[in-house]
Structure 1
Amino acid sequence: MAYQPPSGARDLLPLDVAQKYWIEARLEHIFQQWGYHRIITSTVESLDTLMAGGAIDQATVIELQGTGQTRLGLRPELTASIARAAVTRMDQVGYPQRLYYTANVFRRAAQASQGEQQEYYQAGVELLGSDSALSDAEILLLLNDAVRHLNLTDFQVVLGNAGLTRSLLAPFPEPLRSQVRDAIARLDRITLETLDLSEALRQRALTLLDLRGTPADVLQTVSQLDLEIEQRAIVNRLKSLVELLSGGESPLPLVLDLSLIQSFDYYTGVVFEVVANTPQGRQVVGKGGRYDHLLGVFHPQGQSYPGIGFMLSVEGLHQALLPSGYLPQDTPASDWLVVPRNDRAAAAAFAYAQTIRDAANLVRVELYLDPESSAAMIRDRAKKRRIHRIAWVSETGSPEIETVN
């Protein structure tokens, strides 16, 4: 129907907006406490930017009709857009740069998924210009702080390393490597057991699939593998990171998963997901990782800078928080209802309402728009809208204040 949102789109009504803002305001507060500054990038980007050097599947991009030869699309995520803005507009600022965002993203639904949501809301951060283990720790500790600030306590952070996982997959020949990678990403043991692999490679694939559990157990298992020097260095860095994350009053609830593979291929180091336990089951409400080559795709001279960040799904957090009772249950009520006693009192009523608004911060004042209504109807309207004070204003501007219980 012409009167409904298009397939995959939806409206946010006032209570939806109040709950969304509750989440975003708390996240922004934490991001700012950690020294991050908000960035707003264009919703529409060139397709080249959105494809991020081939790391993003073009099938997920909602394309638009551009002018001339320019191909445009709606952003399916924020990291590529922020990377472009940082190296082309902010390079003179110096590094590290700490940036955060709250924004909508768009992803084309599969053709077989009529009505599947295509617009999403995200909040996240990007730390650009540092490849140290401390920057890995900062992002993960900030993530922990942000999620706990929402009073979401029943969650886990699943941590892996894209570079290590990719190198452990290197012995598999193409195209089997892609099939093994996809099967591991789906935790699909049956496919791994039926692929045309040598027994040694099959056991390697199954070992990779099982590299998941407590950090101590997984690190012990992977340390016993026949690792190259570079792989062992990654494992040692992971050990140091886990130690950093295990201290403090609110240590991260970590699960180490060296089979974790993210959907975006630009990740080069640590990758992670935030998994919340909800009444509907386990739900991924955030993800992120390190991308040390992405910024070079957009730099005019091809110079690259390291980066790491995460995004949190506002919708996912909303669903996880709904049963908790922490989200607003009603839209904010107005504080005053100003009522002109008759048509001639309208100007005085508008003036008095403005006087109240100017006298205090965030006072909500409504003007009653039908002076012919009875006093009983007006009082009933105030009660239904949870307004506790009525100002009856005469032509002279003199108000009579009534408290409504």
Structure 2
Amino acid sequence: MALQPAAGARDLNPLQVEGNRVLSERLAAVYRLWGYDEVSPPRVERLDTLMAGDAIAINDVVRLVADDPLGLRPEMTASIARAACTRLASRSRPLRLWASGTVFQSRAADEGGQFIEENLHSGVELFGVKGIEAEMELLSLLIAAVKTLDLPDVQRPQLLFGHTALMDLVLKPYEGDRRNAIRSALVRFDRLAIEAMDLQLDQREMLLLLLDSRGEPQQQLQHLSNLFGHQPVFQELMRLSQLLEPAAGALGLGLQLDTTFQPAFQLYTGLVFQLVCQGKASPVVIARGGRYDDLVYRCGARGEHAAGVGFSFAIDPIRELLGETPRHAQRDAIVLVAFSPESSLESALRHQSQWHQKGCRAFVELAPVANRQAAEEMATVRRADQLDWIDS
């Protein structure tokens, strides 16, 4: 029998599990305050649903050996969008949903073979709002959720956002394979690839300028207006940034607009964003999201209902940033019930039941303990906060 987990899978210890639970519950409390209802999408889905109309590459999906083409979800948005457009289609819009659960991504391991990344995610989806008002609610909710995580100042959280319409403006002069190659280089921030392309000098200089076009949103929008003239997306992003700046500033959350930012999954058709913190060695992405109207349309919604925005927090990286136990997390006191050779397990179990009726965590040492001192040492080893010693 193999004693090691599959490559990429992890065994979490009780402290890590408790940290994940605390963080998930903090986020869930915020979602509920904002009127979002919990759903539970399946871990297993048909491949065509998981791939979201080829927005997610087949190599990113952990495929299952089954009669039907099935896989494990690499994210939860596609499954929730499917449910919103089928079982929940009769519910009024806006439709506000949240979910928490494990996601699985497949990639090639450095030494060859398959590497499966397994992570706990928590996030929200908002369906049925076409305008910028959806993004205004979504990112306001994101900032409220970040506040509950109690991130230390040293991690300097940054909200980086862009828009697919900005990338379309950059790529407008190009077609076909050249357009795809330029897009790929910009998304990968690959200056060398752009410099090596067979382009006119002014085109190359413009692309390199736009590759470095990121910073304070209002300044960046003014810069883009000078380059491209008035565009409707600029006005929308200006309105959004003006809404977010006060709350973000109060939280110490930086805002940055990046003209060429696009996520790995080509799921989004509008605003795209990610929340980045400074880790011990390198930046860590703790949340991602955006608008995915095309996905909702492919799931069967039409007209004004063919609209969706959402985000998802990656819980495990957040826990690792904060240490195994989130700051200010309250751990329930634990009672060890132990009994001497003159007493009995039956008596210890009755004592345990009394602790449980008071709402206290208590567990029993199942074998008799020689004396109280030994029981106290055992309580320390078992990480109990209190000893209930039964000597008769």
TM-score normalised over the length of structure 2:
0.91
Query: Is the aligned partner of 1:355 residue 2:354?
Result: yes
- Quote the residue 2:187 is aligned against: 185
- Quote the residue 2:125 is aligned against: 126
Partner amino acid, structure 2, of 1:364 = R
- Quote the residue 1:87 is aligned against: 85
Distance (whole Å) between structure 1 residues aligned to residue 135 and residue 58 of structure 2: 29
In the superposition, relative to structure 1, how do residues 111 and 347 fare at CA in structure 2: closer, same or farther (>3 Å)?
Answer: closer
Distance (whole Å) between structure 2 residues aligned to residue 238 and residue 81 of structure 1: 28
Matched residue of 2:108: which SS?
Answer: coil
Q: CA deviation at 1:147?
A: 1.4
- Quote the residue 1:402 is aligned against: none
Aligned CA-pair RMSD: 2.4
Distance (whole Å) between structure 2 residues aligned to residue 172 and residue 12 of structure 1: 48
1:342/1:372 contact within 8 Å kept: no
Matched residue of 2:311: which SS?
Answer: strand
Q: Write out per-residue CA displacement over residues 52-108 of structure 1, whole angstroms, 9 at most, x where no aligned residue.
A: 1111111111111222xx200011111101100111110111111111111111111
Residues 6-405 of structure 1 aligned to structure 2 (within 5 Å): 6-67=6-67, 70-112=68-110, 116=115, 118-152=117-151, 153=153, 154-227=156-229, 232-248=231-247, 250=250, 252-299=253-300, 305-322=306-323, 326=327, 333-339=333-339, 341-342=341-342, 345-358=344-357, 360-361=358-359, 363-371=360-368, 373-384=370-381, 385-392=383-390, 394=392
Distance (whole Å) between structure 1 residues aligned to residue 213 and residue 317 of structure 2: 27
Q: Write out per-residue CA displacement over residues 309-335 of structure 1, whole angstroms, 9 at most, x where no aligned residue.
A: 111111221222229972769x75522
In the superposition, relative to structure 1, how do residues 393 and 88 fare at CA in structure 2: closer, same or farther (>3 Å)?
Answer: farther
Partner amino acid, structure 1, of 2:260 = S
1:36/1:98 contact within 8 Å kept: yes
Distance (whole Å) between structure 1 residues aligned to residue 12 and residue 332 of structure 2: 16
Q: Write out per-residue CA displacement over residues 26-72 of structure 1, whole angstroms, 9 at most, x where no aligned residue.
A: 111111111111111110000010111111111111111222xx200
Distance (whole Å) between structure 1 residues aligned to residue 303 and residue 110 of structure 2: 39
Query: Is there any run of 5+ residues in structure 2 with no aligned partner, and where?
Result: none
Distance (whole Å) between structure 1 residues aligned to residue 300 and residue 218 of structure 2: 40
In the superposition, relative to structure 1, how do residues 233 and 113 fare at CA in structure 2: closer, same or farther (>3 Å)?
Answer: farther
**Alignment length (residue pairs):** 385
2:62/2:116 contact within 8 Å kept: no
Partner amino acid, structure 1, of 2:380 = K
1:338/1:368 contact within 8 Å kept: yes
Partner amino acid, structure 1, of 2:299 = F
2:290/2:309 contact within 8 Å kept: yes
In the superposition, relative to structure 1, how do residues 14 and 327 fare at CA in structure 2: closer, same or farther (>3 Å)?
Answer: farther
Matched residue of 2:106: which SS?
Answer: coil
Computing the radius of gyration from Cα coordinates, the structure with the larger value is 1
Matched residue of 1:266: which SS?
Answer: coil
Distance (whole Å) between structure 2 residues aligned to residue 289 and residue 301 of structure 1: 19
Distance (whole Å) between structure 2 residues aligned to residue 182 and residue 246 of structure 1: 31
Matched residue of 2:80: which SS?
Answer: helix
Partner amino acid, structure 1, of 2:93 = Y
Q: Write out per-residue CA displacement over residues 134-175 of structure 1, whole angstroms, 9 at most, x where no aligned residue.
A: 221111111111112111142110111112312431321221
Distance (whole Å) between structure 1 residues aligned to residue 38 and residue 338 of structure 2: 38
Distance (whole Å) between structure 2 residues aligned to residue 118 and residue 62 of structure 1: 9
In the superposition, relative to structure 1, how do residues 208 and 304 fare at CA in structure 2: closer, same or farther (>3 Å)?
Answer: farther
Matched residue of 2:176: which SS?
Answer: coil
Distance (whole Å) between structure 2 residues aligned to residue 336 and residue 150 of structure 1: 31
1:100/1:126 contact within 8 Å kept: yes
Distance (whole Å) between structure 1 residues aligned to residue 11 and residue 121 of structure 2: 16
- Which sits farther off after the overlay, 134-143 or 42-51? 134-143
Distance (whole Å) between structure 1 residues aligned to residue 57 and residue 168 of structure 2: 19
Q: CA deviation at 1:111?
A: 4.3
Q: Write out per-residue CA displacement over residues 343-384 of structure 1, whole angstroms, 9 at most, x where no aligned residue.
A: 6x33233223212211x22x0111121125333322221233
1:38/1:101 contact within 8 Å kept: yes
Q: CA deviation at 1:301?
A: 7.5
TM-score normalised over the length of structure 1:
0.88
Partner amino acid, structure 1, of 2:175 = P
How high is the sequence identity, in percent, across the aligned residues?
Answer: 33
Distance (whole Å) between structure 2 residues aligned to residue 303 and residue 245 of structure 1: 25
- Which sits farther off after the overlay, 246-255 or 216-225? 246-255
Query: Is there any run of 5+ residues in structure 1 with no aligned partner, and where?
Result: 395-405
